[in-house]
Chains A and B, each alone.
Chain A
Amino acid sequence: MTVTRPDEPPSTIVKYYPLKELIVARAKEFFREPEAIFWVYVFPVLLMFGLGVAFRGGEVEVHVDVVAGSEADTAARSLKSVDGFRVEVVAIEEARARYAAGKVDIIVEPSRGGYRYLYDASRTGAEAAKIRVNDVLQAAAGREDRISSTSDLITEPGSRYIDWLIPGLMGMNIMGGGLWGLGFVTVDLRVRKLLKRYVATPMRRSDFLLALMSSRLFFLVPEMVLIIAVGHYAFGLEVQGNLVAVAALILVGAICFAGIGLLVACRAEKIETVSGLMNLVMLPMWLLSGIFFSSERFPESMQPFVQALPLTQLNNGLRGLILEGSSLTEQWMPLLLLSGYGVLAFFLALTWFKWK
C-alpha cells in the first residue's frame, strides 16, 4: 500500500480545503440533478410567461351567455354591436353549467321587460363585466350619458400585473430555495446516514453548514439574474431602484430562509416529516404573502399576521426597490425583520440540530 506519512513528505504536496470541497461537491450534486434545475431555473420563467400572457394588459373580452327567450335576440344583438363581448344564446341550464365551469363571466336573463344578471361578485372582474354589459344594454334601450367620458388604458411598463408579479416570483423562489436547499437536503443526508458519516470524520461542522449555505447563495445568483433578465427583455420590466440594493435585500432574504430551512430540518429523521413541515411553513406564505395577488386583500384583522410573515416582508421590500425605486434605508422594516427571523432561526436550528 503506498501511503504517505507525515515523516515522509510526498513529492508533490496537495493541499485540500474542506470548505471548498464541500461547496464543490454540493454544487455538482445540484447541477447533476435535472429536477432541481427545472424547479429552480425553468419553473419560475415558465410561470412568468404563463401568468404574463394570461393577465396581459389591454381591453379584456367579456364572455356573456344570454338565456334563450323572447328578448334574447335583442340583447345579444346589442352586445354584439360593440367591441369587447363574446355572446352566446343558450338555455338557462346550459348557461349555468358554463358559468360553473368558468367559461363565461356573466349570464344575462331577459325578464319582465328588463334583464336579470347572474354572476358571482367575488370572482375577479365580475363586477366590471356586469357594469360593462349593463352600460351597453341600457344605452341600447335609450339611456344617454349625462357627461362625456373617455378611457385610456395604462399599458406602459411599471404598473402592469406582470411588473407586480415578478418581485413576488423572486420572493417565492428565495423562500423555496432556502427551504429545499437547506431543509430537504439536510434531512436527505441524515436519512442516508451520510451526515453521521461526515461527523465521524474530523470535518468541522461549521464548514459543513457554511458550505450548504454558501452553495445555496451561489445557486441563487443565476436564478435571480434569470428572472430579472427575462422580465426585462420579454416583458419590459424596468428596475427602478438600485440593483446593489436589490441584491442586498435578496441576500438578507436568502439567509433568513436558509435559517428557516435549517430549523425545519434540525431534528427531522424522515423525508415525510420534513416535507410536511416545509409545506406547513410555505403554504401560508404562498397564499398570504402577496406572490400572485396583493396581501392587502385579506381582512384588516388578519393583517398583523400577514405582515409578520417573512415572505410578505421580502415581497414588500422587493416591490419597493424594484417598482417604486425606493432606497435600502426606506426598506429598513423588511431588512430588520428578515435579519431578526434569520438570526433566531439559525440560533434555534443550531441549538436543536441532530448530527447523528
Chain B
Amino acid sequence: MIDLAIRCKNLTKVYPGGVSAVSGLDLEVRTGECFGLLGPNGAGKTTTIEVLEGILKPTSGQVEILGHTWGNGDRAIRERIGISLQETRLSEKLTVRETLKLFRSFYPTGISPEEGIELISLSEKTNARVGKLSGGQRQRLAVACALVGNPALLFLDEPTTGLDPQSRRKIWDLLRRFRSEGHTVLLTTHYMDEAERLCDRVAVVDHGKVIALGSPNELIASLGGEHMIEFSVANGSSSSSAPIPESELRSLPGVSAVRVDGVEITLTASEPHLVLPRLLERLGGNSGELTRLSIRHTSLEDVFVELTGRHLRDGDTS
C-alpha cells in the first residue's frame, strides 16, 4: 500500500447562497511527492486546498491529512503542516526576523528564524520591516513562515502568482530542496510551466472536479503527440472555408488531433519531421499564403484546452 499524505474522497463545498465551488472531488497525494492542482481561476482550487488545510469546513466528503481527520486531532495535524495562503498581509511593522520568530513560537519543533531567513536568501533583509519588502520578498517570507515549524506536508496556494522571474525561481528551488528531503508538497497554480517543472503529479481541476490526473508527461502523452504544429493561412478570396479540409489534415502521418480556431490551425503530432514536408507541399499549391508556422512541445496548457476547449487564463467564461 502506498503511504498517503492526503486522502480526500467525494469532497463537495457549497457556499451560503448556493454557489458550488467543489463538486465531488477525489484526491490522493502520496508521501514525498509534489502534487499540483492546476486549473483556471474559479475552478475551485483555493476552496479545495483550504478544506484540506482545515480552514474551511466541507459540505460533504472525507478528508484525511497525515492519517488524521479534521475535528479530532487538529493540533496534531497543525503541528506537522505548513501553509501559505493565497493572500496574507503580514504585519508591516515587524521585521523579517521578528515575523519568523513569532511563527516559529507556535510550533513545538522547527528551525530557527535565522535558518528560515537563510532558506529564502533574505539574509540582508533580516532586520528590515516587512513593509519595506518587495512583493517577491514578502511571498518568500510567507513561504518561510510555512517552513519554520519543520512540516512534513506543505500547502501552497498560488505561491508564485504575480512574482518576478527571479523570485519564482527562488521559490521553486526552495520547494525542490524541501521535497528532496522526503517531504510532501501540495500546491495550486495556474501556471502550467510551474506545474510541469515542479510537480511529480498534477490534477487538472475544472468546475470543482478533477478532469485529468497523472504526471505532466503522462498527461501530455495522452494527447497522442509531443509536438504542436500551429499555422495560419491567409486565404485569398474566400476566407471562410478552411484552406485544407480537416479530414485531410487528420490523415497526415502521426497527426493525432486537429483543432481549427478561426484561421488558426493546430495539429498534435508525434513526428513533426514527417508532417511538415507534406503540409508545406500541400500549402504550396493554390490554398493561400502561409502567414504563420511554429512547432513547439506540447504543454499542460494544451491538455487543458483539449479537455475543456478553453485556455487556462480564460477564467470560467464558457
Measured CB to CB, the residues of A under 8 A from B are 1-6, 10, 14, 16-18, 20-22, 25, 28-29, 32-33, 192-194, 196-203, 356
Contact = CB atoms under 8 A, between A and B. Distances in A.
Interface in B202-219: none
Contacts of A194: 88-91
Interface string B89-102: 11101100010011
Contact of B149 (A20, A32, A192, A201): A201
Given A29-B94, A202-B78, A5 B150 contact: yes
B58 to A, nearest CB: 14
Contacts of B239: none
A21 B105 CA distance: 7
Contacts of A18: 105-106
B3 interface: no
A191 to B, nearest CB: 8
B105 A16 contact: yes
A299 to B, nearest CB: 46
A79 to B, nearest CB: 60
Interface string B4-28: 0000000000000000000000000
Nearest to A18: B105
B93 A192 contact: no
A33 B75 CA distance: 34
Closest 3 pairs between A and B when the two form their complex, measured CB to CB? A16-B105, A192-B89, A21-B105
Contacts of A4: 109-112, 150
Interface in B65-107: 75, 78-79, 83, 85, 87-91, 93-94, 98, 101-107
B135 to A, nearest CB: 15
A29 B79 CA distance: 26
B2 interface: no
B55 A200 contact: yes
A356 to B, nearest CB: 6
B56 A200 contact: no
A200 B93 contact: no
A356 B78 contact: no
Contacts of A16: 101, 104-105
11 contacts: A16-B104, A17-B105, A22-B105, A25-B91, A29-B93, A29-B94, A33-B93, A199-B55, A202-B107, A203-B106, A356-B56
A6 B115 CA distance: 16
Nearest to A29: B93
Contacts of B281: none
A200 B98 contact: no
Nearest to A200: B83
A4 B104 CA distance: 13
A349 to B, nearest CB: 21
Given A1-B119, A196-B55, A25 B94 contact: yes
Nearest to B177: A1
A209 to B, nearest CB: 15
* Chain A CB within 10 A, most for which of B98, B118, B149: B98
Given A2-B111, A4-B112, A16-B104, 13 more contacts: A1-B181, A5-B109, A18-B106, A25-B102, A29-B93, A32-B93, A194-B89, A197-B90, A200-B53, A202-B75, A202-B78, A202-B106, A356-B55
